[in-house]
Amino acid sequence: MTHPRHGLNEIIHAPVRLSIMAALAPVEKAEFRFLRDTIEVSDSLLSKHMLTLEEAGYVRVEKAFVGKRPRTWLALTEEGRAAFKEYTSVLRRITEGTLHA
Amino acid sequence: MNARDDIGHDITPDAALREIDRVSGSVRRSTRWAGRWLLVLGLGTIVYWLVMLLGPGSLAVVAAWAWIAFTIAGCVYVFRKNVYDRLTWRLQWPVTGAYVLAVVLTVLFANVMPEREPLPAGWVLAAVLAAVLCGTPPLYGAWRLLRAGGEER
């Protein structure tokens, strides 16, 4: 199995999770509602995929209260950053291979 | 249900790269507030201290009230933000620490400034220098953040 596609991380390589990782990669942390509005998904769908990424160790979730108002902050872990970097590297290898084929 | 909720799992590598560029570009645009905020803070600091050190007493009172209002508005503005980029996060404590130190030094300078009129040229020059130096930490932060702009941080 030498084709770069075999190196694609299947946890990240799904439309919503890919968008979540791409949104969190350039930031230190982002609030749940910001992420939801940026990648244009529902609360429930975002929660579902965040759970998958959290269980994989790619995303850290912090809950805080401002008065009575809950705020949920999301951030990539070091493992998540490394996985996303590797994932984009594999994507580029595949697309460059396609161009040169 | 949002329009994108029902997207399937098939995504081509090209489409994945395009989506990464689109989303990360959108997020980076949302994080530019910090650079703009520090620019306003730095320039506001210089104007404030120029007025406090060299302006007439009546103007100093206005400047003091304006500064209190600006500080409160700034705190609310920063607190309401819901995304922090990595460079802002790294710079926040060095810039804050340097700014606090600069403010303390400027206050000490204001206390030793003579009150006689007209102020000797050397003291005027020193006051201008003190005001500019006090605004330098946030201006440095603004320069770093705005220069980074849409680049990878």
Query: Would you say residue B4 has pLDDT above 70?
Result: no
CB A35 within 8 A of CB A22: no
User: What is the CB neighbour count within 10 angstroms for residue A26?
Assistant: 24
Counted domains in chain B: 1
Does residue B153 belong to any structural domain of this protein?
no
Closest in B9, B24, B86 to A28, CB measured: B86
Would the CB atoms of A15 and B27 count as touching at under 8 Å? no
Does residue B7 belong to any structural domain of this protein?
no
Query: Would you say residue A43 has pLDDT above 90?
Result: yes
Three-point CA angle B107, B113, B118, nearest 5°: 135
Does residue B92 belong to any structural domain of this protein?
yes
Which carries the bigger pLDDT value, residue B33 or residue B94?
Answer: B94
* Residue B50 structural domain: 32-148
pLDDT of residue A1: 55
Does residue B66 belong to any structural domain of this protein?
yes
The sign of the dihedral angle between the CA atoms of B108, B112, B118, B123 is negative
A3, A27, A32, A91: best to mutate for the B interface, most B CBs within 10 A: A27
CB A17 within 8 A of CB A53: yes
Give the model confidence (pLDDT) of A78-99 as tens digits: 999 999 999 999 999 888 876 5
Q: Using CB atoms within 10 A of its CB, is residue B20 exposed (0-12), middle (13-18) or buried (19+)?
A: buried
Domain boundaries, chain A: 7-100
Does residue B116 belong to any structural domain of this protein?
yes
Contacts B82 to A, Cβ<8 Å: 30-31, 33-34, 71
The C-alpha atoms of residue B92 and residue B96 are separated, in whole angstroms, by 6
CB B140 within 8 A of CB B63: no
Does residue B109 belong to any structural domain of this protein?
yes
CATH level 3 topology of A7-100? Arc Repressor Mutant, subunit A (1.10.10)
The C-alpha atoms of residue A17 and residue A13 are separated, in whole angstroms, by 7
First to last CA, chain A: 18
